[in-house]
A and B are shown apart, each in its own frame.
Chain A
């Protein structure tokens, strides 16, 4: 932490920026996945389980094959399957999305802990970083701007998703299904199939988010790895008003909040370290309170996003 101390208090915003970039990636992927699913009118609360399963799978594959990228692909595959399971079950009559999501969350976390027991000790090949700070002499700046490829992919994905929603027939079909299933049926769209596909694809994105946790930052497999990031992403999507690009900004904000404790510690403020570490959770609560209203519905919410009806 010496190099940060060189910069004095300037180290705090720098560390926050670095933390935002570093720890926003899982938020980004999970929230983009949840955004995609919710745009079609379903809520998948199981993404926390998908995230942890993705982390475990990616670590295991990377450890066995030596290729972290294979691990990422494997995590996406596991996420796809878990999303498809959620999508399929919710397609059955009279099934509650929320209950299925919670069941899958607990199943995913439990299964990952069970299967991941032997992975706690060994170390697997990690995803490489891209150094964007080479122009600076300061090691602190270099460290802060060491960006992972997955972050870059996630940023591109956010813009691509926004474009797909806005300017393609697929995007329009997803938005229509999410806004009114009657409208979708009347124009001949298969509501169940579209929701199954978006839930599966959303799960795959959450799986990729998990692979980042175990293969880059913090970069090992253990049971406290996710600490609820998959659930916070659900709040984040509400905060971002179901807009992929705002999901990116919100992820950076949440990532930065997570880095507040370590950043302050690096300049010598260690009182209340654990309190500052709770910043993302406090932020989640504040977002939920600020965006709730007794008298009005949420602006921008997909019209058919229901928490109890099924289809």
Chain B
């Protein structure tokens, strides 16, 4: 009995899609997707960014209407017009981007999501009774949450748990998690997925887990469906698969750029040093607290930490986008304030996170965006006043070629490029000329394997040529692969430092949560 329940192939599925397709304008995001999910167990949806995983589950959660095909839940064909319809059918979804109101308390968020048994929509809320009701519900669940806390004050991991509690309070039969571990430390990820894994054993609950992490699939999934380019390229029990097979299904025939080898470099010349740097975040709360770090020529220093522990503010101060409250930044042994003249003189370049928002003008052309560092420089302007378009256009074309920015059309607005191409274009601008110091934040967030490999190769190349690279990343695997030294930020302080040889995944994961 138990065995057949875990064996999705034999039992009648709780959720089934038949030939589902979705077209956005001219592009086909999903093409003839057929998926069968067993009533118990974890079903992984594996695929690269842009493979159509999110589109598929948004169809299941009532956010999108499929263009073709049908969805069957619990044996009945369903037309899901809105998330409300999906809730009614027993589908709950935890989104990749949190859908909690940040300035409300956890309790307020839960009350709104899960109305009481009276189902009153407009009436008075009895806060004491609601507090009692949700405290009892949470006691029954294997997750914990502080009901009185304001959502904005929670860590990403806690927010994730509140999202899951919110969905579980609605008593779903199918729980969809969209990349739940992208914001969690390894320990938190194990806790959340392990708990859900156990829940799918103890009760009628099917979990659809979207991920691109192979490790999680093998550790927790019962069955896996692989998507590539909107089509199903693989579907089987996890026991029947191995990592190479899955990787082939996911990536297909794509050439992966190999990173250049780590060249031995002399790392005795400190180019960038940060001394006792202290800064506040947008809400006036201390985000960086007396941070000290140095980066030498020819090394990559990785900054690890769970998102929201001061990484954003550190990058902003270095880029001149945020004032420091106290402390100093020294570049080439001179004090540094982030003005345009200083940036040009010291050749300190930055690639911030979400470059389309933080480092580009979305409505201006790719060529214009590529010219931001150099348009007033010699060769591109007449007397520093009039820009010379022709050399700038030639330069843009060369850079797009060199950094593989597609489509190779410099006049397109930046916003029309895909995420990976925006990232490459921004990196092209920062690495176009010789760079002494490079500050990079989450350079590979949301990119596919081929794009990640390309960007890693560029960073390693810059290091080998003698640049001092500060790599701020939430992806521990990326840091372990690239960095020569690692520092861990927790609540704005450097709590741990180690060299590449000493680095240990587990202990760094613990330092990231403050242990």
A46 to B111 CA separation, bound complex (whole angstroms): 34
Chain A CB within 8 A of B385 CB:
no
Q: Are B83 and A295 in contact (CB under 8 A)?
A: no
Contacts A167-B127, A295-B284 given; indicate if A186 touches B95 (C-beta within 8 A). Answer: yes
Q: Note all chain A residues with C-beta closer than 8 A to B104.
A: 172, 175-176, 179
Q: Note all chain A residues with C-beta closer than 8 A to B83.
A: 185-188
The residue in A183, A186, A293 that gathers the most chain B C-beta atoms within 10 A of its C-beta is A186
A180 to B100 CA separation, bound complex (whole angstroms): 7
Chain A CB within 8 A of B99 CB:
yes
Q: Are A172 and B108 in contact (CB under 8 A)?
A: yes
Q: Are B283 and A172 in contact (CB under 8 A)?
A: no
Chain B CB within 8 A of A299 CB:
yes
Chain B CB within 8 A of A161 CB:
no
Q: Which residue in A170, A183, A293, A295 is a CB contact (below 8 Å) of B109?
A: A183
Chain A CB within 8 A of B332 CB:
no
Q: Are B101 and A168 in contact (CB under 8 A)?
A: no
Q: Are B112 and A172 in contact (CB under 8 A)?
A: yes
A182 to B101 CA separation, bound complex (whole angstroms): 8
Q: Are B283 and A297 in contact (CB under 8 A)?
A: yes
- In the complex, which range does the number of interface residues on chain A fall in? 20 to 34
Q: Which residue in A167, A300, A302 is a CB contact (below 8 Å) of B125?
A: A167
Q: Note all chain A residues with C-beta closer than 8 A to B284.
A: 293, 295-296, 299
Chain A CB within 8 A of B97 CB:
yes
Q: Give B109-130 as 1s and 0s: 1 = Cβ < 8 Å from A's Cβ atoms.
A: 1011101000011111101000
Q: Note all chain B residues with C-beta closer than 8 A to A173.
A: 112
Q: Are B103 and A179 in contact (CB under 8 A)?
A: yes
A176 to B109 CA separation, bound complex (whole angstroms): 8
Q: Are B101 and A176 in contact (CB under 8 A)?
A: yes
A187 to B103 CA separation, bound complex (whole angstroms): 16
Q: Note all chain B residues with C-beta closer than 8 A to A302.
A: 103
Contacts A183-B100, A303-B103 given; indicate if A168 touches B283 (C-beta within 8 A). Answer: no
Q: Note all chain B residues with C-beta closer than 8 A to A300.
A: 103
Q: Note all chain B residues with C-beta closer than 8 A to A183.
A: 98-101, 109
Chain A CB within 8 A of B216 CB:
no
Q: Are A294 and B124 in contact (CB under 8 A)?
A: no
Q: Give A149-172 as 1s and 0s: 1 = Cβ < 8 Å from B's Cβ atoms.
A: 000000000000000000111101
Q: Which residue of B lies closest to A295 (CB)?
A: B280
CB distance from A225 to the nearest CB of B (A): 37
Q: Which residue in A170, A186, A295, A303 is a CB contact (below 8 Å) of B99?
A: A186
Chain A CB within 8 A of B82 CB:
yes
Q: Are B112 and A187 in contact (CB under 8 A)?
A: yes
Q: Give B44-75 as 1s and 0s: 1 = Cβ < 8 Å from A's Cβ atoms.
A: 00000000000000000000000000000000
Q: Which residue in B112, B121, B124 is a CB contact (below 8 Å) of A176?
A: B112
Q: Note all chain B residues with C-beta closer than 8 A to A170.
A: 122
A234 to B109 CA separation, bound complex (whole angstroms): 28
A179 to B123 CA separation, bound complex (whole angstroms): 21
Q: Are A188 and B87 in contact (CB under 8 A)?
A: yes
Q: Are B122 and A169 in contact (CB under 8 A)?
A: yes
Q: Are B99 and A299 in contact (CB under 8 A)?
A: no
A297 to B285 CA separation, bound complex (whole angstroms): 11
Q: Which residue of A lies closest to B97 (CB)?
A: A182
Q: Are B282 and A172 in contact (CB under 8 A)?
A: no
Q: Are A168 and B122 in contact (CB under 8 A)?
A: yes
Q: Which residue of B lies closest to A298 (CB)?
A: B283
A295 to B316 CA separation, bound complex (whole angstroms): 12
A311 to B98 CA separation, bound complex (whole angstroms): 19
The residue in A172, A182, A187, A300 that gathers the most chain B C-beta atoms within 10 A of its C-beta is A187
Chain A CB within 8 A of B84 CB:
yes
Q: Which residue of A lies closest to B108 (CB)?
A: A172
Q: Note all chain A residues with C-beta closer than 8 A to B113.
A: 186-187
Q: Which residue of B lies closest to A182 (CB)?
A: B99
Q: Which residue in B93, B101, B121, B127 is a CB contact (below 8 Å) of A303?
A: B101
Q: Are A303 and B283 in contact (CB under 8 A)?
A: no
Q: Note all chain B residues with C-beta closer than 8 A to A297.
A: 282-283
CB distance from B478 to the nearest CB of A (A): 27
Q: Are A169 and B283 in contact (CB under 8 A)?
A: no
Q: Which residue of A lies closest to B123 (CB)?
A: A169
6 A-B residue pairs with CB within 8 Å? A169-B112, A179-B104, A185-B83, A186-B83, A187-B113, A303-B102
**Could you list which residues of chain B lie within 8 angstroms of chain A, going by C-beta atoms?**
82-84, 87, 93, 95, 97-104, 108-109, 111-113, 115, 120-125, 127, 280-284, 322-323
Given contacts A170-B122, A179-B101, A296-B283, 13 further A-B contacts (CB under 8 A): A167-B124, A172-B108, A175-B108, A182-B97, A183-B99, A183-B100, A186-B99, A187-B83, A187-B99, A187-B112, A294-B323, A295-B280, A295-B284
